Amino acid sequence: MKNIVLLGSTGSIGTQTLDVIEKNPGLGRICALAARGSQLDLFAEQIRKYRPSIAVVYEEEAYWKLKQRLSDVPTRLLWGMQGLLEAVSMEEAELVVTALVGMIGLEPTVRAIQCGKDIALANKETLVCAGELIMKLARQKRVAMLPVDSEHGAIFQCLDQKPAAAVSSIILTASGGPFRGKKQEDLRAITREEALRHPNWVMGQKITIDSATLFNKGLEMIEARWLFDKRPEQIQVVVHPQSIVHSMVEFTDGSILAQMGTPDMRLPIEAAIAYPSRGGQVAPPLELIHCPPLTFEAVDEETFPAVALARHAMKRGGLFPAVLNAANEKAVAEFLQLRIGFLDIYRRVEEALSAFERCTVRRDAYTLEDVLDVVSWVESFWKAGDSH
């Protein structure tokens, strides 16, 4: 029974995490919940149901609304970044599930590691933007970094403490998203609704758009590079439309281990929370005789340049992955607001990377403050571009 802090409890990963714990009550107890105020009704329901010691909402206005609504609940309510930092620092907390979307998850993850808490990581930005710093700190504090992503969770299970020298490459699988097989000309008129229609997974809006552009896979490449301590050239991506093989590891003798399962995020969530044990059944089992044929394809990097852009940022290192992430985050937000087109997401990210390449203030050695400054740099770059 682990004492769990859940950051991002109203999102897709957060609600499924609570479902996993409800189906396996012996896995853990919720001691703190945190969320943004966009789904205040759901968050209030969660607080009433799980009665955490602390609940944090990011926005001050939402905090005051919750205060009135939950006046009869003994949970201590907090708000803002300071509230998140206090929640992950709780003495009784043992595992922090970081399911907040975006750069907001970075500082709480760092604080949790500093406090010696194990991390179940569902926030890609943490390792994409500051992987070198985060993993160095985790090693110093002897903190477990348990991946919640289906792909990284699959790799984690395949490696299972095997010698690092025995690993030849890591092979991330991608569904190909809703536009697999299309060419760039087909993508010019793609609508917001079409991009949000994923064929296999039910996810939040941002990650669904990332899956459509394949930036999700690009970010996962960078995350895998740090999480599993591999060189950029050891990270591969293949398209696997059925989403049954969640990722693979190739060893130096040529053999490949794959982790398979139904496309249900509750499986990798449970694997992370229960580690090193296994929980009970939380999703329908994979019935092999009823599986469709399993196919694998190369990524069409000309139509979907996200993987190539991420590979470039990963090889360049330093703050370049943080620029890639922040520019993509901004571009996706603007696409969802109908301010730019689908293909403009790639264009704006590439422009940001090129501009940063020319920037005299760039640094290969960086601090956490430098990573956070990248967001401001991208905002300034964006405004400069909009003014022309």
Per-residue pLDDT tens over the stretch 49-66: 999 999 999 999 999 999
207 is in an annotated binding site: no
Give the C-alpha separation, 90 to 93, whole Å: 5
Is 269 labelled a binding residue?
Answer: no
Contact 152, 131 (CB under 8 A): no
Residue 219 banded pLDDT, cuts 50, 70, 90: very high
Query: How far apart (Å, rounded) are the C-alpha atoms in residues 174 and 289?
Result: 23
Measured distance CA(80)–CA(77) in Å, rounded? 11
150 assigned binding-site residue = yes
107 is in an annotated binding site: no
Share of the chain above pLDDT 90, in %: 79
Is 151 one of the annotated binding-site residues? yes
- Say whether 198 counts as a known binding-site residue: yes
Query: What does the block give as tokens for 248?
Result: 């693979």
Residue 211 among known ligand-binding residues: yes
- Residue 45, annotated ligand binder? no
The pLDDT, as a whole number, for residue 223 is 95
From the list 358, 369, 266, 353, the residue with the least C-alpha distance to 317 is 353
In the numeric block, which tokens belong to residue 15? 């609600």
The per-residue pLDDT for 362 is: 59
Rounded distance, CA 321 to CA 324, Å?
Answer: 5
Q: Is 295 annotated as contributing to ligand binding?
A: no
H/E element, 24: none
67 marked ligand binding residue: no
**Residue-wise pLDDT tens digits, 140-152:** 999 999 999 899 9
User: Which pLDDT score, from 0 to 100, does residue 361 have?
Assistant: 61
26 is known to lie in a ligand binding site: no
State whether residue 56 is helix, strand or coil: strand
| The predicted structure's pLDDT at residue 151 | 95
| pLDDT at position 256 | 97
125 known member of a binding site = yes
| Residue 388 confidence (pLDDT) above 60 | no
pLDDT > 90? residue 128: yes
Model confidence pTM above 0.85: yes
**For 195-208, what is the mean pLDDT?**
79
pLDDT, position 40? 95
Tell me what pLDDT residue 331 has. 95
What is the per-residue pLDDT for 210?
Answer: 93
233 annotated to bind ligand: no
Q: What is the pLDDT of residues 348-374, one digit of tens each?
A: 999 999 999 888 565 667 888 899 898
Residue 46: pLDDT over 50:
yes
Does 325 carry a binding-site annotation? no
pLDDT for 202 equals 66
380 marked as part of a ligand binding site: no
For all residues of the chain together, what is the average pLDDT?
92
* 214, 177 Cβ separation under 8 angstroms: yes
Per-residue confidence (pLDDT) for residue 387, from 0 to 100: 45
